[in-house]
Structure 1
Amino acid sequence: MTRPPYEDPDDADAGPPDPERPPAWDPGWEPLPPVGPRPPREPDPVAVAVANASLLGAGYLFLGRRWMFWGAAVVTVALLWLTYSTAEPWCDVLVPLWWAVMTGHGLWLARRRSPAGVRSGGPRVLALGLTVPVLVAAGWVRFDTHGIEATVAAARADGDCAEAVAAQEGVRFRHRLAAAPVAARGDRVVEACERLETAAGYLSTGLTGDPDALETGFERLGAVLREPGNERTVGATLADFLAGLPTEDGCRTMDVVDWLRERESGPKALTGPSTATAERTAPGALDQCADALLADGQWAHAQDMYQRLLEEHPGDDRAAGARDGIRKAGLATQLNHVRSLVTEADSMTTGYCRDPAKYSAAPAHRKGSSRALFVGETEYTKRLPEAWKAGDAAGAALVVCADEPEAGDVVETCRYRDHRGGIGSVRFNRLAVRVKAYALRTGKLVADRTVQMGGTSCPGILRYFEALPSRQAVTPSDADVREAFASVVGR
């Protein structure tokens, strides 16, 4: 109730009336309340707690504590970065623990300010608008991360590294921020697969017969195998390597097989399949390698491989072929040796003539049809008929060694005038050649004799140098040469 203006002219200069002092004439007057700042609104504890549950520290703003808001934001960012950078399993506890601390702390602070529990719809709606999207997004990302991790784990369980790597490629920054430890498990699977891929590269090189590459590849397989959960992926990598056996080259295959057999140390998961594959592959590889060596002229090595096949796998279906291969390799070795000796035989004391050898596949010596190789002194034997000669040791029944011709029996003596006009006598001798014949099939001596070649003697004109010779050789014709050697070769 207001008071009417004063009407007393004597009080006109007294100033405005004192509201605290009631006038005598107004018994119903009441003083006005004092004018000052409005009291602060009491915070809603639920709204504060919900706002803080967003991990943004927004609840502290509802309480008017901005320094707490900024401090909470710094801690939240630090924890998220720590989780992202370390990806340790214990990091999964830090953020939920911090979330619980912030929520509880905000609720406690708000209840201290408002013990009666003020309820307010507006702040709660705002708090829910902040918190629900954050929690839903975080939950969905974690759910998605766990789904990727499950796919990676399933692929690893199936031994499919390619599928595991492809699934892990779906992990993004958001997954590592919200569920770093879960994403890290997939990273470890991918890292193991990458190591297996490197091991597979070494093993692939090892298929060429490189023992160092094989050793490195198996060491890396063993290292990955020692880590739990990698049994299937290691097994798949080993199986891919073993599927490359046998290779196209039998001898390279045997190099790998021998290495696998000799490798006794290592996990059973590696040695078991390797040894089994080696045993299964060895017979065919030995046969293939031996055939290739035989065709390449490496007869001694071919024989060794065929012999190994017979000794190590006596019941194998290839045993008969191996025996035939040993025979062929032996014959080829003999033939090669004989050819070498024949090439070196340029006298009676060299090559085949000094060290005769056999070629078991040579044709048998038959009178009237056998062919021979003529070695040693070939001045006259080269004039023999081509039908008597063998073009190569492979078709020869005999090897005939001829020595240098010497003076044989005297055919006749003729007189000639010398350069001074005197008369002298000249004796004409047959050509005597020592001959040794060997049966090539056995390498044994079948003839050792001296043949004598006749020929024309006492020509009308005798050509000579200096003094008149006392002895002169006859001049044999082709028929004379043939007649002399016919008995040796059975013609």
Structure 2
Amino acid sequence: MTEPREPDPLAVAVANASLLGAGYLILGRRALFWAAAVGTASLLWLTYTTAEAWCELLVVLWWAAVVAHGWWLARRHPAAGPRRGQRVLALALTVPVLAAAGWVRFDAYGIEDRVTDARADGSCRAAVDTQEGVGFRHRLLAAPVAARGDTVVEACERLDTAAGYLSGGLTGDLDMLASAFDRLGAVLDEPGNERTVGATLKRYLGRLPTDDGCRNVRIADWLRERRTGPKDLTGPASATSARIIPGALVECGDALMTDEEWADARDSYQRLLDEHPGDGRADDAREGIRKASLAIELIQVRNLLDEADSMDSGYCRNPAKYSAAPAYRKGRSGAVFVGDTEYTDKLPQEWRAATSDAALVVCTDETEAGDTVETCQYRDHKGHIGSVTFNKLAVRVKAYALRTGKLVTDRTVQIGGESCPGTLGYFGSLPPGMAVTPSDADVRDAFGPVVGR
């Protein structure tokens, strides 16, 4: 293009306002045209890559400088003056460019407003979906605006990661739960994220309680004990802990009862009564404590009975109660026999009872010589005649009421039996004394008064 002899300064300025350097073409300054194009492209790319407001300010200053420079150059031309054709051409070029740029920026601000509104509503999903409408044109012509939306999306992505850790916390992994709250706190520290953080936490807390009572107790305790951090996190956490802990304690106690973890079950029920005495499940907890306590008593009694192989061991040495044992009823109560059971093993089966159904625990000591029955003459293997005295069997007996663990009988019973048999078996020399030979009936007669038979 050759330099026109009559340039219109206004047309040149307007053409340069397009930031395409078209005004320099009107002036015939091709070198300036290419310089302006490179400068504009460089500034726009800088704005695109940095998304900083100062870059946009540079673009505005560059725009003003190019417009002013084109005006100044055109004014210096000797034939400068108004030219209708040039003005129409400049307007036809610049107006669409500026209108398109303005529309893109207007659209970018609209997207930003919708993203901000979505974040204010606590909806990360809506914010992310809206930000997906940002394209290359927005990032080129309104980079800082687009970048602010990217910041919201980045915060939402971090919240999504925190939500994953919160889900892990539902399995009882308290380390994951702690990590989740740390991440929530970090996002909350950044202005404008209060609603999205709150919504993320609310979704997690709304999934509590889980179907595992003991896991719920651990989670609730952790939530209650987390006293550090923003109140926007600790407040809802504490409130949720208070909401789920009473039911969790009862459910945990029930699960432990099923697993026969009696002591832990009792502690769980007792904690409900200590911390929430007015809760509607208090009666269930009291019943649970009663059952667990009885189970613990029964285990203790059974262990002591297993250890009782003499009068000075196990239950016979340290009697314990089983509160659910039946009361002693003469002629109808079953007993458990421990200690030296050589003769009590011969007692009728109907006198016996399982530990959980027995009313008495009968401890028996080793047998000793009791009252004399009679003395008889026998000839030994050498033909000598000697006397043998026969005695009853004396057995020390202690009986305890299983319901209370208290001693109800402490006596020595004597078991009678056959004496002076026609033939006497012995080793070595003729013994001076021997015990009678009791029958099952003799044993029953001796022990009957002890057990009320």
Calculate the TM-score normalised by the size of structure 2.
0.91
Describe how 1:134-283 pairs up with structure 2 within 5 A: 134-283=97-246
Q: Kindly tell me: are residues 40 and 276 of structure 1, through their superposed partners in 2, closer, same or farther at Cα, counting changes over 3 Å? A: closer
2:68 aligned with 1:84, yes or no? no
Q: Deviations over 1:168-199 (max 9, x none)?
A: 22322222112111111111111111222222
Q: Kindly tell me: are residues 375 and 240 of structure 1, through their superposed partners in 2, closer, same or farther at Cα, counting changes over 3 Å? A: same
CA contact (8 A) 1:196 1:221 kept: yes
Alpha-carbon deviation of 1:115?
A: 4.8
- Give distance in 2, aligned partners of 1:170 and 1:431: 103
Bigger mean CA offset, 367-376 vs 207-216 = 207-216
Please point out which of 9, 23, 26 is paired with 1:62.
26
Q: Kindly tell me: are residues 172 and 418 of structure 1, through their superposed partners in 2, closer, same or farther at Cα, counting changes over 3 Å? A: farther
Identity percentage of aligned residues: 71
- In structure 2, the partner of 1:477 is 439
- Give distance in 2, aligned partners of 1:116 and 1:126: 17
Alpha-carbon deviation of 1:478?
A: 1.7
SS of residue paired to 2:80:
coil
SS of residue paired to 2:142:
helix
SS of residue paired to 1:432:
strand
SS of residue paired to 1:90:
helix
- Give distance in 1, aligned partners of 2:412 and 2:239: 67
- Give distance in 1, aligned partners of 2:31 and 2:316: 114
Alignment-mate amino acid for residue 139 of structure 1: G
- Give distance in 2, aligned partners of 1:171 and 1:468: 118
2:313 aligned with 1:350, yes or no? yes
Please point out which of 387, 391, 398 is paired with 1:436.
398
Q: Deviations over 1:117-155 (max 9, x none)?
A: 15152x555545543443343333323322322221111
Q: Deviations over 1:310-348 (max 9, x none)?
A: 232232222233333332232222222112211221211
Alpha-carbon deviation of 1:245?
A: 2.3
- Give distance in 2, aligned partners of 1:389 and 1:180: 92
Alpha-carbon deviation of 1:205?
A: 2.9
- In structure 2, the partner of 1:30 is none
- In structure 2, the partner of 1:323 is 286
- In structure 1, the partner of 2:38 is 74
CA contact (8 A) 2:4 2:28 kept: no
Alignment-mate amino acid for residue 478 of structure 1: D
- In structure 2, the partner of 1:15 is none
Alignment-mate amino acid for residue 116 of structure 1: A
- Give distance in 1, aligned partners of 2:288 and 2:221: 21
Q: Kindly tell me: are residues 407 and 356 of structure 1, through their superposed partners in 2, closer, same or farther at Cα, counting changes over 3 Å? A: same
Please point out which of 96, 99, 112 is paired with 2:63.
99
- Give distance in 1, aligned partners of 2:118 and 2:279: 41
Describe how 1:359-378 pairs up with structure 2 within 5 A: 359-378=322-341
Alignment-mate amino acid for residue 108 of structure 2: T
- Give distance in 2, aligned partners of 1:54 and 1:226: 43
Alignment-mate amino acid for residue 401 of structure 1: C
- In structure 1, the partner of 2:295 is 332
SS of residue paired to 2:23:
helix
Q: Kindly tell me: are residues 378 and 61 of structure 1, through their superposed partners in 2, closer, same or farther at Cα, counting changes over 3 Å? A: same
Bigger mean CA offset, 126-135 vs 219-228 = 126-135
- In structure 2, the partner of 1:407 is 369
SS of residue paired to 1:363:
coil
- Give distance in 2, aligned partners of 1:144 and 1:39: 40
- Give distance in 1, aligned partners of 2:3 and 2:92: 27
SS of residue paired to 2:319:
coil
SS of residue paired to 1:199:
helix
Bigger mean CA offset, 152-161 vs 271-280 = 271-280
Alignment-mate amino acid for residue 32 of structure 2: M
CA contact (8 A) 2:9 2:80 kept: no
Q: Kindly tell me: are residues 184 and 469 of structure 1, through their superposed partners in 2, closer, same or farther at Cα, counting changes over 3 Å? A: same
2:303 aligned with 1:310, yes or no? no
The answer for unaligned runs of 5 or more in structure 2 is none
- Give distance in 1, aligned partners of 2:419 and 2:239: 83
Alpha-carbon deviation of 1:426?
A: 3.3
- In structure 2, the partner of 1:487 is 449
Q: Deviations over 1:329-388 (max 9, x none)?
A: 322222221122112212111111110011122110010000111111222212211111
Q: Kindly tell me: are residues 115 and 429 of structure 1, through their superposed partners in 2, closer, same or farther at Cα, counting changes over 3 Å? A: farther
Bigger mean CA offset, 476-485 vs 110-119 = 110-119
Please point out which of 32, 51, 74 is paired with 2:15.
51
CA contact (8 A) 1:434 1:448 kept: yes
2:261 aligned with 1:298, yes or no? yes
Aligned length: 452
Alignment-mate amino acid for residue 145 of structure 2: V
Alpha-carbon deviation of 1:481?
A: 1.6
2:311 aligned with 1:387, yes or no? no
- Give distance in 2, aligned partners of 1:483 and 1:81: 113
SS of residue paired to 1:403:
strand
- Give distance in 2, aligned partners of 1:249 and 1:105: 77
- Give distance in 2, aligned partners of 1:418 and 1:46: 157
- Give distance in 2, aligned partners of 1:321 and 1:89: 66
Alignment-mate amino acid for residue 79 of structure 1: L
CA contact (8 A) 1:49 1:107 kept: yes
Flag the structure with larger Rg.
1
Alpha-carbon deviation of 1:209?
A: 4.1
Alpha-carbon deviation of 1:43?
A: 3.1
SS of residue paired to 2:242:
helix
- Give distance in 2, aligned partners of 1:216 and 1:309: 29
Describe how 1:458-477 pairs up with structure 2 within 5 A: 458-477=420-439
The answer for unaligned runs of 5 or more in structure 1 is 1-37
